[in-house]
Structure 1
Amino acid sequence: MSNFHFSSSTHFTTMIIFLTMIQLEKSIGMNKMRGEISESFQLFIISICALAVEMVLFRLFAFLVGFHFVSLIISLALLGYGASGTLYRFFPDSIKPLTPFFFIMGLIFILVGFVILPLDVYEFWTYLLYKLNLIVLIIFTFIPFFYHALYQIYLFDKYPERFPRFYSINLIGSAIGVIVGIVLLMVVNEVKSLVCVMGIGCIALLNQKKYFFPLAILTCVLLFIPLTLKISDYSPTRQLKLIPENQLLYTFRNPSQHLEVFSTPFTRAATGLSMRYREVPPSSYSLVYDHIQQQIFPNLPSQEFINHTLFSLPLRAFNPNEVLIIECNWGYEMFATHYADISTTMITSSPLFRDFLETVQPPFSFEGKVAFPRKYLSQVQSQYDMIFLQVPIGNADIFPGTFSMKENYLFTIEGIRSVFEHLNRNGKLVISFFPQTPPMVLVKLLDMMTQVWGGPEQIKNRLVIIKNLDFALLITSKFPLTPNEIHVIGEEVSIYRFDFIYYPGIAEEEAEVIFQNQKANYRAVIDYFQDPFGTLQKSHYQVGAPRDNKPYFSHFFKWEQFHDTFYNLGKRWLPFGGAGFLFVIFILLVITTLSLLFILIPGRILIRKKIQFAGRKGLELAAILTGAGYMLIEIPIIVQLEMIIGFPIYTFAVVLAVLLVFSGLGSRYVEKVQSDRLFHHLIYIHPLVLAGFFLFIHFFRNWLLGISGIFSLFATLIPFSVVAFLAGTPFPVLSRLAHRRNPEFFQVVFAWNGFMSVIASLLSHLAAIEYGIHFPYFLSIPIYGGFWITVYYLNKSSCPSSLSILPAFPEGEERK
């Protein structure tokens, strides 16, 4: 009986212990699940914030450097992501769960950098302090991306079996972040947008109260503090505010532009004015775009004043009935056609300029239309008697070192050809410009017109060039000019005391008589007509006609200018001393150095030790190829699709979102592939897809421009999504190969991939400017082909018969 009692007690006790253990396991499992859900939510919020910050940085750097430096933004993000992969193993485990907190601190560093850090672009080359401050700002900028990637790696390491889930969460959050960034820029300015992103990031700290409340309170305080971007004291915005009589009337903004409208009663509008005008020119509005670009708009000029400008001369000489004005936002052409009572259509790509016109309400009998010139010209069938264009280069802006990353698809051979297609049989194209000394803009315009018409002999009898002291009109007739037309123009030039630079049959003594300039402009025209190719070759500047493949009309830099540019650093009172190219080289050197310090050296040298195994060189080669290939696709496509999509920031957002989504889908797809046969086929499939997308854009460009915006967008992005899908396949393949060969070597592979991605983003942009957009894109075709060939031989020499692409688990986890 006692034995039975003892046995029953033992059995009962065992049952209690067993049930207690089950309950404990359930409790542990529930806590682990809660922790996983909480960390998934944190990753989702951080992913949103990271891409929203990237959108805001796009605009902040545009204010700072004067152009949309898209490759810099991408390289900074990649620098952070690459550094996290190589430095992750050096971080203590106790710090890794606090990554969301450090991410928000990174956003604070960015805010401090742009609001407090002094960086004067006019004295950049003069003082070492500004160069050091720019380096500090670059380091501040990549910190959030570093912690975003670090948290991803931490979760992949902690929950290796949940890799697909976290990957998808990060992908969805990143895509939403692109939208959030654009929406914030629509609602508030760039600095406040950054603060709002901080506020969104605080949501990730809801489970960490001791960090959440202080940062949430700080965010609320910053929202109500009038923070402003730290810009140069010599910028137009600051300089105009120094004059007491000037008054800031309006501020217009959207995600792609910022426009300040000043009343400047003592700034007189006198562009293209005749010396016979004896009255005081009218006062003006000063329009300042993005704090750095100033444009003068006359304030209700009289008809007499407008009649004494060059802009009225072609209207009186040719008596057009229908006029089209494209991107002439300084207003003279509008007032000229208004006073001449001519039916006018005005096109501007800037919604903010249209808002300005609607606000000040000049007495025009026509309204401005917002449209991108190339899309407008492709979508309408209207014919005009005269079309006005304005060269977007200011007075005295051309000098050794003149460099531009601003795309302009109107002032290309294809763009001007589309303009001529909308002229009537005897229509006239009128291009206004500042001639510069030496006359480089004039030579580039001549070469563009010559390329459009097929040779100098075809353009000689269609061309008239007139100037006053420092301004000129280039008039090109679709039909050869008649003697009567030349006579009428001559009378107008004589009455208003303008100068001829050129007209058919001009003698040297008739050119540039009033405003003596040693006939430099006339000689430039004659020299070009006598030997076009030789003139372009001998020029100290880049004056060849731009094409859609190389849409940089404002780019005049040649490598032979390097010595002169370097010698004059800090001697020109212009942003970055006018040496924009050297500034980009400086950025490239800084980014390369940081990539070496934070990615390549830790990843390849510090942890490389003496790892030797079969296929090591092949893995490194494959990592270099896939790192470079991705950027050689992304940067040229962003530049190319700007012509179809529109503003650079919208193009950047759309391309980035599509790449995120479909590259992620491509990565997820190859994880499920069990056979290596597909990867053998990609040796030719991937290059063919890249070539096919190029051919699609090239041959269907006019059709894409001609259809409405939303349909054009979808028609472009559907084939691009295939390119993005395949772009996401190489790295998972490479990751699995590295882990099969030697898991310790994966960080070397990651380091090479990250380093090449960072450098290639900047180099591909420079290559697009120097050699054309097609050059880096075409370079990606053999690079990806080479990658898949390398994979083929690596896989062929592997022991397993197939390459099963699975998540790259940490060492030990895969065996478990």
Structure 2
Amino acid sequence: MRVGRLLPVGLISAATLAHEVLLMRLFSIIQWHHFAYMIISIALLGFGASGTFLALAHRPLVDRYPAAFAASAALFSTTAVASVAGAERLPFNALEIIWNPGQLGWLAASYALLVLPFFFGATCIGLAFIRHPGQIGRVYAFDLVGAGIGALGTVGLLFLVPPPAALYFVAALGFAAAALAATDMARHRWLAVGSLGLAALLIAVWLPPSWTAPGPHMSQYKGLRMALEVPNARVVEERSSPLGLLTVVESPTVPFRYAPGLSLANTQEPPAQLAVFTDGDSITTITAYGGDPTTVAYLDRTTAALPYRLLKRPRVLILGVGGGEQVLLALRAGADTVDAVELNPQMIELAGNRFADFAGGIFSRPNVHLHLAEARAFAAATGERYDLIQMPLLDSFSAAAAGVQTMHENYTYTLEALRDYLAVLRPGGIIAVTRWLRAPPRDILKLFATATAALEADGVAEAGQHLALIRSWNTATLLVARSAFTGEDVAAIRGFAAENFFDISWAPGISSADVNRYNQLDQEYLYEGALALLSPERADFIERYKFDIAPATDDRPYFFDFFRWRALPELLTLRTQGGAAMLDWGYLILATTLVQAAILSAVLILLPLWLRRRALGRGVHRLRFGLYFLSLGLAFLFIEIAFIQRFVLFLGHPLYAVAVVLAGFLAFAGLGSAVAARWMAVVGRGSAVRGIALAVVVIACLATTYLLSLPLVFERLLALPDAAKIAIALLLIAPLAIFMGMPFPLGLGHVGACSEAFIPWAWGINGCASVLSAILAVLLAMHIGFTGVVVIATILYLVAPALLAGSWDPYDQQTPQGFVPDRDRARVEPASGNPIRLEVGSSAKQAQAAEVLNGVGHRHEVMPLFATGDGKSPFPRINPAPHASST
């Protein structure tokens, strides 16, 4: 088969994955990340729906394969743009779901619209599997390699154009796939190609840009939308990248006055500010500065200023610089040098270049150094030592209160992270972490527990002597010192708190009489929590607390996951009294998404079983085949997701980890699929189970080896240049991914030989399993860590061959050529001159047979064969010519 015939498969696969990435970015802007995750996860069940549809109605489509593929690809492109335009205009408000059941209807409408492009894209790929049953390995290879290119290409594209504009590139890929497929049509091919080109041109030229612009349709509860409601407020700059949409807003009528943790005793008016919103919500500010330190004296009255009372001319490291507020504070406090680390290059461009004059050129000062890096990677690679590591507050209060970061892995606040930061402190150095204050407290108590564990892991006997905690009316700042605080330090803390009306929640030597003086609470939760976390009853306190405040680790890096099931009934009963604000929505949304996906997946998987049970053969085979593909779908994504998270620390950037690991897994798995295709051609389909068994044993060995060795490898190689680390990452991924790409095509060829009807059904099961595994992997990682997720994946891989063992019969072992016709519809017999005559019952099967026999070098004659009235072939067995069986 010509490679060109499979190019449309690669193109539509690239377009489909690119569309998934774009939807996540678009709906993270329009709603919030966790709601976007739920909507898109359910939409991806379009793959499962496609498999069900093809299992029930594939014959007429396969008979008209080029036209059906072209039509599906064109519909993918059309719905990719139209579904987004429609879904973002629905009056869906995610925050109202818990008290407004009517929102569930709009949520269902979002699902119905967004599922369409995935359904049509998956239909194209499913048709290719059915149309080329003897080339399943090659089809799957093009599918995976195309998806890898789509993932990597979309990340690069999002640095050049915003997500709405990138939708047009996705649509263009779909139309290109349709045009290529249409060139294989028997009749009217150029008319079809011309029509597709005209349709693409009309969409590109006539579709109003506002149809795909996310700004006007952003949730009204996001900070950006509310800021723009102020008279004369306007957007002055906008930058987009895969890391987020940065929007700079100016408000001359009602100026921004953003200073988290500012004392109620402050009397100075802050200078003019520009607000910078990330994805319309998380906010930082760029403050006007003319070089006079007195104009920013108000920063001395924030909780983040506390460490400067204890340190003289410190060497400062700021992890997450944002708009530069903490740089201003450090300069005002007389810092000797400031190393400012920022993850987002667009933020550096805005604060350090575009608005540099407005900000007084603070990043151009000789003692200020701006670094584009991830916090952990910088701390591990730097050879410098610091007196102060400042971790400022960059997320919005509304995001923290809603729990929208629950599903986000965060390696900045893990136990291992704090140990890394302590290691780069000078003697007497301090880590300062500021977080929003929530009632009951969560973030800050979890940080306190993590800091206590980190100090004890470093050999500190009395961790309480190294900790101090103060709070304002809305923030709390925790100090973690490498050396014990002295009496002079504690006196300075007391003085700072008294001057600014801050409450001390913990410091060495304080008592209950020293707390809850200014910003009074009904109960001093932080002080009581600190006492409990420093006592021998720490484990019991953590277990009994209403929220999960156990330290996050690199294996379970979900710092913002505070949810506990046992607290849910109580919080729901308090819903009308404000209890809804205490719910961490991220976890609930994830669990709800899993339930929805499981129910819909069960329907999509079981429907073909019921309607086509005769075509799918014996019940025991159906069950085992279904479980096999379900296991593969779960296991593949479990390992892929776990490795993406593992490589975040090594590659130093979440974006690099997603792009490199995802593209690497898909591309090398595609290579593994090509190897599987060669295996079937040389060894024969009857050996598929042996090939699967070999592959999964290697997968299990490699996965176990990586679990044990990767942390050490990363630690030793972390200081290498980025290019070298990317190359090493690909080399590490390659062997595992190659073998992970083999079980699916081998299994699909195996079950397809038993009955052609199994191919679309298996494709649908794989699609459903992929959606379930993406959700399950995160939920499991929150509870048992990524190591546990990989162990489960390994077990699933190891049981897979047993599910297929014994499902083969002697009939199937006689046709190693790569094409096994339906046993009730064909026969192969030698003819004069030693060609093979293959008699089949449909034009599609004639074309398939000719394709395969050409591929193995046979002269052939294809003739129609009509089944008897009872549907059984008059030829009960296939008897290939002797020379054919050895080909």
Quick check: TM above 0.5? yes
Letter in 2 for 1:446: F
Q: Give the direction of change, closer, same or farther, for the CA distance of 1:454–1:41 in structure 2 (3 Å limit).
A: closer
Could you tell me which residue of structure 2 aligns to residue 136 of structure 1?
109
Letter in 2 for 1:588: L
Q: Give the direction of change, closer, same or farther, for the CA distance of 1:802–1:337 in structure 2 (3 Å limit).
A: farther
SS at 2:45's partner residue?
helix
Within 1, Cα distance between the matches of 2:631 and 2:125? 24
Within 1, Cα distance between the matches of 2:383 and 2:553? 23
User: Identity rate of aligned residues, in percent?
Assistant: 21
Superposition pairs of residues 775-814 of structure 1, within 5 angstroms? 775-792=788-805, 794=807, 806=818, 812=825
- Do structure 1's residue 217 and structure 2's residue 202 form an aligned pair? yes
- 2:406 aligns with one of 378, 397, 404: 404
Within 1, Cα distance between the matches of 2:617 and 2:555? 45
Could you tell me which residue of structure 2 aligns to residue 302 of structure 1?
295
Within 1, Cα distance between the matches of 2:635 and 2:695? 15
SS at 1:302's partner residue?
helix
Within 2, Cα distance between the matches of 1:507 and 1:149? 65
- 1:765 aligns with one of 771, 778, 783: 778
Within 1, Cα distance between the matches of 2:264 and 2:37? 46
1:539 deviation in Å? 0.3
Q: Give the direction of change, closer, same or farther, for the CA distance of 1:637–1:70 in structure 2 (3 Å limit).
A: farther
- Do structure 1's residue 465 and structure 2's residue 469 form an aligned pair? yes
Q: Give the direction of change, closer, same or farther, for the CA distance of 1:307–1:163 in structure 2 (3 Å limit).
A: closer
- Do structure 1's residue 147 and structure 2's residue 147 form an aligned pair? no
Native 8 Å contact 2:34 2:590 kept in 1: no
Query: Which TM-score applies when normalising by structure 2?
Result: 0.80
- Do structure 1's residue 533 and structure 2's residue 518 form an aligned pair? no
Superposition pairs of residues 194-209 of structure 1, within 5 angstroms? 194-206=167-179, 207=190, 208=192, 209=194
Letter in 1 for 2:567: Q
Within 2, Cα distance between the matches of 1:779 and 1:388? 39
Deviations 1:171-206 (A, max 9, x none): 443333234323332222111111232234333455
Native 8 Å contact 1:45 1:204 kept in 2: yes
Greater CA drift, 85-94 or 98-107: 85-94
Could you tell me which residue of structure 2 aligns to residue 28 of structure 1?
none
Could you tell me which residue of structure 2 aligns to residue 603 of structure 1?
608
Native 8 Å contact 1:374 1:705 kept in 2: no
Could you tell me which residue of structure 2 aligns to residue 242 of structure 1?
229
Could you tell me which residue of structure 1 aligns to residue 527 of structure 2?
522
Within 1, Cα distance between the matches of 2:815 and 2:462? 62
Q: Give the direction of change, closer, same or farther, for the CA distance of 1:705–1:603 in structure 2 (3 Å limit).
A: farther
1:372 deviation in Å? 0.4
Q: Give the direction of change, closer, same or farther, for the CA distance of 1:245–1:616 in structure 2 (3 Å limit).
A: closer
Within 1, Cα distance between the matches of 2:11 and 2:137? 18
1:289 deviation in Å? 0.5
SS at 1:268's partner residue?
coil
- Do structure 1's residue 474 and structure 2's residue 441 form an aligned pair? no
Within 2, Cα distance between the matches of 1:234 and 1:616? 49
- Do structure 1's residue 52 and structure 2's residue 18 form an aligned pair? yes
Deviations 1:72-110 (A, max 9, x none): 688557523333233124154367252222222321333
- Do structure 1's residue 341 and structure 2's residue 334 form an aligned pair? yes
Native 8 Å contact 1:52 1:181 kept in 2: yes
Aligned residues: 780
1:798 deviation in Å? 6.3
Q: Give the direction of change, closer, same or farther, for the CA distance of 1:562–1:493 in structure 2 (3 Å limit).
A: closer
- 1:62 aligns with one of 28, 39, 45: 28
- 2:437 aligns with one of 431, 435, 438: 435
1:770 deviation in Å? 2.9
Native 8 Å contact 2:414 2:553 kept in 1: yes
Deviations 1:413-444 (A, max 9, x none): 00111001110021111112223222222221
Letter in 1 for 2:525: A
Deviations 1:377-423 (A, max 9, x none): 11111101111113566548767977711111010000111001110
Q: Give the direction of change, closer, same or farther, for the CA distance of 1:297–1:136 in structure 2 (3 Å limit).
A: same
Native 8 Å contact 2:339 2:370 kept in 1: yes
Could you tell me which residue of structure 2 aligns to residue 713 of structure 1?
726
Greater CA drift, 74-83 or 327-336: 74-83
Within 2, Cα distance between the matches of 1:183 and 1:813? 49
Could you tell me which residue of structure 1 aligns to residue 187 of structure 2?
none
Within 1, Cα distance between the matches of 2:227 and 2:551? 36
Could you tell me which residue of structure 2 aligns to residue 697 of structure 1?
710
Within 1, Cα distance between the matches of 2:323 and 2:594? 36
Within 2, Cα distance between the matches of 1:356 and 1:263? 14
SS at 2:112's partner residue?
helix
Within 2, Cα distance between the matches of 1:147 and 1:221? 23
Q: Give the direction of change, closer, same or farther, for the CA distance of 1:332–1:154 in structure 2 (3 Å limit).
A: closer
Native 8 Å contact 1:63 1:290 kept in 2: yes
Deviations 1:153-175 (A, max 9, x none): 43444455665665554444333
Could you tell me which residue of structure 2 aligns to residue 253 of structure 1?
240
Gaps of 5+ in 2: 180-189, 829-837, 839-887
Native 8 Å contact 1:636 1:777 kept in 2: yes
- 1:350 aligns with one of 344, 347, 354: 344
Q: Give the direction of change, closer, same or farther, for the CA distance of 1:246–1:67 in structure 2 (3 Å limit).
A: same
Query: Which TM-score applies when normalising by structure 1?
Result: 0.87
Could you tell me which residue of structure 1 aligns to residue 83 of structure 2?
110
Native 8 Å contact 1:110 1:140 kept in 2: yes
Within 1, Cα distance between the matches of 2:404 and 2:72? 43
1:474 deviation in Å? 1.4
Q: Give the direction of change, closer, same or farther, for the CA distance of 1:391–1:789 in structure 2 (3 Å limit).
A: farther
Native 8 Å contact 2:50 2:123 kept in 1: yes
Could you tell me which residue of structure 1 aligns to residue 147 of structure 2?
174
Native 8 Å contact 1:430 1:475 kept in 2: yes
Letter in 2 for 1:430: A
Native 8 Å contact 2:342 2:372 kept in 1: yes
SS at 1:501's partner residue?
strand
SS at 1:318's partner residue?
coil
Deviations 1:261-288 (A, max 9, x none): 1123433234333343323344432221
Q: Give the direction of change, closer, same or farther, for the CA distance of 1:152–1:809 in structure 2 (3 Å limit).
A: farther
